[in-house]
Chain A
Amino acid sequence: ETTLTQSPAFMSATPGDKVNISCKASQDIDDDMNWYQQKPGEAAIFIIQEATTLVPGIPPRFSGSGYGTDFTLTINNIESEDAAYYFCLQHDNFPYSFGQGTKLEIK
């Protein structure tokens, strides 16, 4: 089983900031990493696939990097609408597993 360690659990940012969220896998998962955004009471939205590919329709201020065991979600020029819960998913091996999530607050 692959364990994902996501950090930080909580972060606060100001509009215009750049933020990084990390997800570290306990074993090599190639680029089989996705990132999602979820707001309270809403369905999660798929934002980054295969570690680095922006899902169509997602603003380009979102980007992903990494391969193997270390992955990062970066949000440039943060906007107030980016306040949400973000989580990573590895789909390299079963059972699929998730990071513990990051709550992003916008001041």
Chain B
Amino acid sequence: QVQLQESGPGLVKPSETLSLTCTVSGGSVSSGSYYWSWIRQPPGKGLEWIGYIYYSGSTNYNPSLKSRVTISVDTSKNQFSLKLSSVTAADTAVYYCAQESKYGSGFNYWGQGTLVTVSS
């Protein structure tokens, strides 16, 4: 059973860069069978897909966030990461990482999420 665990600062200042890491256990980010995604949910709002990375490094981002998002993968640590630049209060959310089959069938496994608050 694959398990994903998000980690990173819970508080980020406006205009700075939000950085989160997802550690994968029970599976490998080097597997060519999966995409590795980030998703977020602002308080009281719906979920928003941020983007994904493939083990090769290829990425696909939500156009609404594309100019500020970078997702990377570290196969040596079995982790993948999210960076979101120039954050504002609107980026306050619970951030989730998830695994998706490369056949594009949606998310098989999710992390439990981590709350990131943007505030000075």
A residues neighboring B (CB under 8 Å)? 32, 34, 36, 41-46, 49-50, 87, 89, 91, 94-101
Contact = CB atoms under 8 A, between A and B. Distances in A.
Contact residue range for chain B? 20 to 34
Nearest to B3: A43
Contact of A91 (B46, B60, B62, B105): B105
B48 A98 contact: yes
A57 B22 CA distance: 25
Contact of B112 (A36, A42, A46, A91): A42
Contact of A96 (B4, B49, B96, B108): B49
User: Most chain-A CB neighbours within 10 Å: which of B64, B96, B112?
Assistant: B112
Contacts of A99: 46
Contacts, number: 53
A95 B112 contact: no
Interface in B34-89: 45-49, 60, 62-64
B117 to A, nearest CB: 17
B107 A34 contact: yes
A28 B60 CA distance: 22
Contacts of B26: none
B8 interface: no
The residue among A44, A49, A91, A96 with the most chain B CB atoms within 10 A of its own CB is A96
A34 B96 CA distance: 17
B107 A46 contact: yes
B106 interface: yes
Nearest to A55: B108
Contact of B60 (A45, A94, A98, A100): A94
A98 B105 contact: no
Contact of A43 (B62, B100, B109): B109
A34 B111 contact: no
A41 B64 CA distance: 27
